[in-house]
A and B are shown apart, each in its own frame.
Chain A
Amino acid sequence: MKELICIICPRGCHLKVFETAEGFKVEGYSCKRGEKYGITEILNPERVLTSTIKVINGKLSRVPVRSSNPIPKNLIFDVMKEINKVIITAPIQINDVIIKNVLNTNSDIIATRTILKNDD
């Protein structure tokens, strides 16, 4: 059994997810969305990852980035290592792909802010 707090809406129902012979059973939810959340969260938890990447020759020294899709929770620290290997030269446009298909997750690491060159 695993205890979870549902984060679909701000109400924050306390869920209990049981694995039974007929599949997963969720208790404590108040709506259908909560039941679905409980099962997904056990079977395949995913998160959008956000971080920053070092910038050379830019107006700012860091560009914020995110994964274009949610990535499996257990790969988050591995993707962080990939992000921290990269150094990028300005200019950078918002939505530029900085790492394509990071660790074969079908998710790109993309810039979330435009960083102009330092002399612009």
Chain B
Amino acid sequence: MKQYDLIIIGGGSAGIASAIGAYNEHIESILIIEKDKYLGGILNQCIHNGFGLHTFKEELTGPEYANRYIEKLNTCDKNVIECKMETFVVSITRDKLCTYTNALEGYVTVKAKAIIMATGCSEKTRGNIETQGYRPKGIYTAGLAQKYLNIDGFLVGKKVFILGSGDIGLIMARRMTLEGAKVLGVAEIMPYSNGLNRNIVQCLNDYNIPLYLHHTVREIIGKDSLKQIIISEVDDNFNFIEGTDKTFDVDTLLLSVGLIPSNPLLKQLQVKFNPKTKGPEVDANYQTSIEGIFACGNSLHVHDLVDYVSLEGETAGKKAALYIKNQIKNQNNKVQLVPLNGISYLLPQICYPLNGKLDIKFRVKEPYGQCKIIIKNNDNIIKTINKMYLLPAEMENIIIDSDILTEGKLSVEVETK
């Protein structure tokens, strides 16, 4: 059986970055397994610009951003990093056996000292949101319609409504408008948008596409093909408000109602999952509850900016390499991270004292104006940060020095005046 130091499952932004991070720690062999024909993952269909502002200080398109990292990967020693394309991983085990299949080799099992999961996320579908009515053709997730249009060159419809104000939906509202479709509106069930402000401005306002906040689709009409949708306003308990119905004649409904980390392989292993992120729980080394199995990128928690996916991937790669070299100390003094008032989730879920700088990532549950973020270690305040605003659509991060931590609890909360 062939043996590798490190196997990385997924060749998107997280996978590529983790390979580079591990390579820089001088391990001997790295295998990247990618199911598509190309590296770069979802970036390849995200042809709009705005990627890489943090990392490269310029606004690249998705394919350009991917290319920067693929070129970096190509400068690495080919004897160390191997990529298998159009290869699908069937299973992994706690002993780090990895079974994959492809057209050339058939069904093969290889062994690794460590595995990094970089399998990305998937879109929520109609089944996740329980919309009433018929099940006609013409209903797509926004990302699928994006793939059809940008990779294959097919416009899925001419009269479009978009449910959910996630960024992919907003980007597709503009993209389909540019290709000649009429986008009649975007409905968002929450009283605020889930997308980035710049997308509301550049994708909706620029093209006079209305955004219906606190609205959702009430009924889908059309037996074989989609004919109409009815949206209604909802109250604070998300019940429809009678008399607020609006009917739209459409042939296409795009769903942009959220993303969920995709982890079928880890689910087979009964890794510990976090109910909020829907990804595996990890410690400060990005290690899951199974030793030697690491996770990063959108399969760990859904990011809004790819720059942070790359950074996280690079760190996870480095930590996996240190694990392979036996340089990760066995840490018994655990600190459990606990989200308190206003915080939806914290990542990592476990950290250790004396483990270098700790990068805490989190999201808030709802929008905040001027407020404070308070970090406590066993009820003692160790850091306070003033914020002008906080939005659920934007991941926040705080770096603290783990040297000052003591075993027990580390909590983060929002305090308003």
A interface, CB within 8 angstroms of B: 4-5, 7, 10-12, 30, 47-52, 54, 59-62, 64-66, 73, 76-77, 80, 94, 112-114
Complex partner residue of B64 from A51, A62, A77, A94, CB under 8 angstroms: A94
Stretch from B159-167, B232-240, B386-394 forming part of the interface with A: B386-394
Within the complex, what minimum Cβ distance (angstroms) separates A105 from chain B? 16
Is residue B61 within 8 Å, beta carbon to beta carbon, of the partner chain?
A: yes
Query: Are A113's CB and B44's CB within 8 A?
Result: yes
Query: Are B61's CB and A7's CB within 8 A?
Result: no
Query: Are A51's CB and B178's CB within 8 A?
Result: yes
Given A47-B202, A50-B61, A114-B67, 17 other A-B contacts at CB below 8 A? A4-B201, A5-B205, A10-B197, A10-B391, A11-B197, A11-B389, A51-B47, A51-B178, A52-B150, A52-B153, A54-B153, A60-B151, A62-B152, A64-B61, A64-B150, A77-B178, A112-B47
Query: Are A50's CB and B49's CB within 8 A?
Result: yes
Complex partner residue of B197 from A7, A48, A66, A113, CB under 8 angstroms: A7
For B151, what are the chain A residues with a Cβ–Cβ distance below 8 Å? Answer: 60, 62
For B49, what are the chain A residues with a Cβ–Cβ distance below 8 Å? Answer: 48, 50, 66
**Tally of A-B Cβ pairs under 8 angstroms:** 70
28 contacts across the A-B interface (CB closer than 8 A): A5-B197, A7-B202, A10-B196, A11-B389, A12-B197, A30-B388, A47-B206, A48-B59, A50-B47, A50-B48, A50-B49, A51-B47, A52-B150, A62-B152, A62-B153, A64-B47, A64-B62, A65-B47, A66-B49, A73-B206, A76-B178, A94-B64, A94-B67, A112-B61, A112-B64, A113-B64, A113-B67, A114-B67
Q: How far is the CA of A61 from the CA of B201 in the complex (A)?
A: 31
Q: How far is the CA of A62 from the CA of B47 in the complex (A)?
A: 11
Contact with A along B288-322 (1 / 0, CB 8 A): 00000000000000000000000000000000000
For A7, what are the chain B residues with a Cβ–Cβ distance below 8 Å? Answer: 197-198, 201-202
For A48, what are the chain B residues with a Cβ–Cβ distance below 8 Å? Answer: 49, 59
Is residue B17 within 8 Å, beta carbon to beta carbon, of the partner chain?
A: no
Is residue B63 within 8 Å, beta carbon to beta carbon, of the partner chain?
A: yes
Is residue B254 within 8 Å, beta carbon to beta carbon, of the partner chain?
A: no
**Which chain A residue has the least Cβ–Cβ distance from B200?**
A5
What range describes how many residues of B lie at the interface? Answer: 20 to 34
Q: How far is the CA of A61 from the CA of B153 in the complex (A)?
A: 7
For B150, what are the chain A residues with a Cβ–Cβ distance below 8 Å? Answer: 52, 62, 64
- Rank and list the top 5 A-B pairs by shortest CB-CB distance, nearest first: A12-B197, A64-B47, A113-B63, A7-B198, A112-B61
For B152, what are the chain A residues with a Cβ–Cβ distance below 8 Å? Answer: 61-62
**Which chain A residue has the least Cβ–Cβ distance from B177?**
A77
Q: How far is the CA of A7 from the CA of B204 in the complex (A)?
A: 13
Q: How far is the CA of A78 from the CA of B394 in the complex (A)?
A: 34
**Which chain A residue has the least Cβ–Cβ distance from B305?**
A10
**Which chain B residue has the least Cβ–Cβ distance from A11?**
B389
**Which chain B residue has the least Cβ–Cβ distance from A66?**
B61
Q: How far is the CA of A51 from the CA of B180 in the complex (A)?
A: 12
Contact with A along B143-186 (1 / 0, CB 8 A): 00000011111000000000000000000000000110000000
**Which chain A residue has the least Cβ–Cβ distance from B193?**
A12
A64-B59 in contact given A5-B201, A7-B198 (Cβ < 8 Å): no
**Which chain A residue has the least Cβ–Cβ distance from B178?**
A80
**Which chain B residue has the least Cβ–Cβ distance from A67?**
B49
Q: How far is the CA of A53 from the CA of B166 in the complex (A)?
A: 26
**Which chain B residue has the least Cβ–Cβ distance from A73?**
B206
The A-contacting residues of B in range 55-73, CB under 8 angstroms, are: 59, 61-64, 67
Q: How far is the CA of A30 from the CA of B353 in the complex (A)?
A: 39
**Which chain A residue has the least Cβ–Cβ distance from B43?**
A113
Interface centre among B48, B63, B206, B391 (most CB of A within 10 A): B63
**Which chain A residue has the least Cβ–Cβ distance from B63?**
A113
Interface centre among B59, B67, B178 (most CB of A within 10 A): B178
For B391, what are the chain A residues with a Cβ–Cβ distance below 8 Å? Answer: 10
**Which chain A residue has the least Cβ–Cβ distance from B61?**
A112
For A94, what are the chain B residues with a Cβ–Cβ distance below 8 Å? Answer: 63-64, 67
For B153, what are the chain A residues with a Cβ–Cβ distance below 8 Å? Answer: 52, 54, 61-62
**Which chain B residue has the least Cβ–Cβ distance from A80?**
B178
